[in-house]
């Protein structure tokens, strides 16, 4: 099994197979636009700009499960990222990352890289999962980990 077996929905409600990212290094993250960590959008965009030509893709999934920090629609979340941080990487529709309604992709990510919590739950916005070119989840970075500190890990996979 790999991340390529999952799909995601765009803010325009179009289903996208993650198989289209086969052969790429991925960062998959849950995000929010009204969070103290929201400036990480800018840091993620810097990584994307620096490494997308070498095969990096960043997939962002807005989530409103932590402090109601993504209260608007999926479209509003995507617009916010583009207007305020110049984000050019894909922003998908809002998802749940914990609980009964957990998106299947995030359930899989947590199973592959459980993190430090006993139940593998995601603790906050901007938990980042690094995926190699074969679709294997190789590392989990907790929310406060700055995206630029991931550079050496990304470069090894590229």
Q: What is the mean pLDDT of residues 50-57?
A: 97
The domain tally of the chain equals 1
Contacts of 94 (CB under 8 A, 6+ apart): 61, 62, 63, 64, 70, 73, 74, 77
Which CATH number do you get for residue 23?
A: 3.40.30.10
Catalytic residue among 8, 18, 28, 35: 35
Global pTM? 0.95
What confidence category does residue 26 fall into, taking pLDDT thresholds of 50, 70 and 90?
very high
Question: Residues 113-149: pLDDT tens digits?
Answer: 998 766 789 999 999 999 999 999 999 999 999 999 9
- Name the residue range of residue 85's domain: 3-157
Question: Residues 75-113: pLDDT tens digits?
Answer: 988 888 888 889 999 999 999 999 999 999 999 999 999
Asked if residue 131 lies in contact with residue 28, where contact means CB atoms within 8 angstroms, the answer is: yes
**Is 35 a residue of the active site?**
yes
């Amino acid at each position: 099994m790999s991340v390529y077996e999952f799909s995601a929905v765009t803010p325009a409600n179009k289903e996208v197979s993650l198989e289209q990212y086969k052969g790429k290094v991925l960062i998959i993250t849950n995000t929010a636009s009204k969070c103290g960590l929201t400036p990480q959008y800018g840091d993620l965009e810097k990584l994307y700009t620096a490494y997308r030509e070498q095969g990096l893709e960043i997939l962002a999934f807005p989530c409103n499960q932590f402090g109601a920090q993504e209260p608007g629609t999926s479209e509003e979340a995507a617009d916010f990222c583009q207007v305020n941080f110049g984000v050019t990487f894909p922003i998908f529709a809002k998802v749940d990352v914990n609980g009964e309604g957990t998106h299947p992709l995030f359930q899989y990510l947590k199973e592959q890289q459980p993190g430090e919590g006993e139940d593998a739950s995601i603790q906050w916005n901007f938990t980042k999962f690094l995926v190699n070119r074969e679709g294997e989840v190789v590392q989990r970075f907790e929310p406060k980990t700055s995206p630029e500190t991931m550079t050496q890990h990304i470069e090894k996979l590229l």
